[in-house]
Amino acid sequence: MDQLSSNSGGISYLPLLSKLQQCAKSRHPNKSGEWRSNKYWHVDQGHGWTFTDQRSKLWDYTRTHIQRHVKVKGTASPYDGNLLYWSKRLSNHYMFSGLLGKLLQKQQGKCRWCDLLFQDGDIVEIDHITPKSEGGGEELSNKFARCHAEYCVPIGLS
């Protein structure tokens, strides 16, 4: 039943409909079928008939959209330091959204200064290649991400 989707149609809905009709009949055995239908089934804003008691309504599972997920690769973990993999996987995650996510992908998850992979917990700073004071712009091509580790020294200056 967990694999049902919006395109599975009404075939799976029929047993539930039958149970709901039996329930309504057992609650109101002396009332007509038309009365029970008017009491429990109502047209819901263009979505067809909905079973409701006017306080709450039965959720129609065919309105639930299934979201498929891609499995995590092998033994990957957000704490293994592979921020490139996780930035691609979690491209909509707040940590990787916007400018930082683009820079991490561009730099393949590495600090531009020390060339080491960013680790979880690293303080990542976005800096300019050509400083603004020297005429550098705000475009992506003039920015890079770097870490604040004690050992982080620009390559060639160590």
38-42, 85-89, 109-113: segment of lowest average pLDDT: 85-89
Residues in Cβ contact with 136 at an 8 Å cutoff, skipping those fewer than 6 apart: 128, 129, 130, 142
- What local confidence, expressed as pLDDT, does residue 32 receive? 93
| Pure H helices in the chain | 13-27, 33-40, 83-89, 98-106
Tell me which range, 12-26, 59-73, 77-91, is most confidently predicted by mean pLDDT: 12-26
Instruction: Provide the β-strand partners of residue 50.
Output: 42
pLDDT score, position 1? 42
Structure tokens that stand for 70 in this block? 């891609």
For residue 86, give the H/E element and its range. helix 83-89
pLDDT for 28 equals 93
Cα–Cα nearest to 80, from 109, 44, 102? 109
Taking the model in full, what pTM does it have?
0.43
Non-local CB neighbours of 78 within 8 Å, separated by 6+ positions: 86, 120
Helices (H) and strands (E) in the chain, counts: 4, 4
156 dihedral zone (left: phi>0; alpha: psi -120 to 50; beta)? left
CA distance 87 to 104: 7
Return the top range by mean pLDDT from 111-115, 118-122, 148-152. 111-115
142 or 43, which is more confident: 142
Domain residue ranges of the chain, discontinuous segments joined by +: 13-63, 83-147
Identity of the highest mean pLDDT range in 42-46, 98-102, 135-139, 154-158:
135-139
Most confident of the following: 35-39, 86-90, 145-149: 35-39
